Amino acid sequence: MLTPLQEMDRRHHLHPFTDHNAMHKSGTQVAVRGDGCYLIDQDNRRLLDGLAGLWCVNVGYSRKEIVDAVTAQMTQLPYYCSFFNTTTEPAIRLAAKLAELAPQRVNHSILCNSGSEANDTAIKLIWAYNKILDRPNKRKILSRTFSYHGVTVATTSMTGLPSCYLPFDLPLPGFIHVPGPYTYGANNGMTHDQYGDWCIAETERIIQHEGAETVAAMFVEPIQGAGGVIVPPDGYLTKLRALLRKYDILFVADEVISAFGRLGAWFASDMWQLDPDIITLAKGITSGYLPLGATMLSDQIVETLNRGGYLAHGYTYSSHPTPCAAALANLKIIEDERLVERTRDDTGPYFQKKLRSLIGHPAVGEVRGYQMIGAIELLPKGGRSELAKSPNTLGVKAAGIAREHGVIVRGIRDLIAMSPPLIATHEEIDELFVAIAKTLDQI
């Protein structure tokens, strides 16, 4: 029996990434409140949020500092744009703060509302950049299988997940997928290192086949998140970076998930010395409290773009002062509470230790992760050979069971993914893994 709210939802509300027929049979779950690492639902159940919303609520729910900053900004000036030689103080301060935190060469931000828009903006600016440099045919965009870069037409075209692009007959021409280093999925007998090297060789072969003079950029998540928490082998990203430099192809680090502490660094591309030309950001920049994305550009790209004159790009809500105020308050919490260092030195290693303790469980095919992000590949009774016969639904099934045990994780294909808030304590991480252990026993 649906509640009146669930009934209203069924009638009028289309949800993102949802099978509506399946959902409305049982009724949608209505989230009501947040408290630290916990979400409280319509039945007053406290659920430990092992995914931090959608990999974004880094500082946890109910942070008064952010609410106060947003209230103060909305009271003073709820909105103004950054078009027409105007802007607002929070937008200026946020751009400067990002430049302070980001790798050395990347000092300029154009702001937007989401990760998809940040990546979409990057594509347009890359095309404009090459046009100004008088190489208008250098336009093709590379990305990897199992990558996730968003849902606009162009970012869906980059996303390397057939379930995201096939329903829309994408990718568009000029968007090329090269193999991502998902060794477990490839299941071809190679070690992770060998498969990483094969992916690099294949990427080079594809660049040569397409003609490097037609390839503009490659978008790279340092750890592929929504595609299944794919952690590349050591050295793979360095080799990929060198390869792209060799062919004069821009390196775009999609740090929508990885920035702002999740990997124990402000920026994964700094930690792993990837020297990106462009970085795209969203999610943890406000811990999800308000929508905000950023495309950060190197000095050299901005100098070139400036030579092109008028920059005909931007959204009504680009540099909106209220999300910028939320971001500044959020970044201050991350700094004041030393959440980056805490993740690096304490909670991240603890989370990984707990994750790795599951190796050997008969329902576990592999665990992967880095600091405060992780995934468990699930196995049915009978093992991997049985998996091949099933329709890739173990992850969603396991996430449902985990929820019954009081924790939220994400089911993807035959795996579950986790990325708890960075404020999680050892006790909360223990609670998460107790529920996961029960889930594995049951599945």
Nearest to 154 by CA among 248, 292, 295, 284: 295
Residue 100, SS3?
helix
DSSP state of 212: G
Residue nearest to ligand PLP (CB): 115
Does residue number 37 form part of the binding site for ligand PLP (CB under 6 A)?
no
Instruction: Name, in order, each residue with C-beta under 8 angstroms of 57's C-beta and a sequence gap of 6 or more.
Output: 34, 49, 287, 288, 421
The reply to whether 225 sits near ligand PLP by the rule CB under 6 A is yes
Which span sits near ligand PLP by CB under 6 A: 218-226, 309-317, 320-328, 420-428?
Answer: 218-226
Pairing of strands 407-408, 175-178: unpaired
Closest Cα to residue 53, out of 257, 331, 268? 257
Residues 363 to 422: which contact ligand PLP by CB under 6 A? Answer: none
As beta bridge partners, residue 376 has 367, 416
Q: What is the contact mask toward ligand PLP in residues 46 to 75, using x (rule: CB under 6 A)?
A: --------x---------------------
How near is the Cβ of 427 to ligand PLP at its closest, in Å? 28
* Least distance from ligand PLP to the Cβ atom of residue 292, Å: 9
Nearest CB to ligand PLP, comparing residues 255 and 377 = 255
Report strand pairing: 278-281 vs 293-298: antiparallel
Nearer to ligand PLP, 119 or 287 (CB): 119
- 165 scored as a contact of ligand PLP (CB under 6 A): no
Binding status of residue 254 toward ligand PLP by CB under 6 A: yes
Rounded to an integer, what distance in angstroms lies between the CA atom of residue 140 and that of residue 403? Answer: 42
Stretch that binds ligand PLP, among 82-90, 113-121, 349-357, 372-380 (CB under 6 A): 113-121
> H-helix or E-strand containing 321?
helix 321-336
Calculate helix-pair angle for 299-307, 115-132, nearest 10 degrees.
Answer: 60
Considering only the stretches 111-119, 200-208, 236-244, 330-338, report the one whose residues sit in contact with ligand PLP under the rule CB under 6 A: 111-119
Asked whether position 221 contacts ligand PLP by CB under 6 A, the answer is yes
Residues interacting with ligand PLP, by CB under 6 A? 54, 114-116, 119, 148-150, 221, 225-226, 254, 256-257, 282
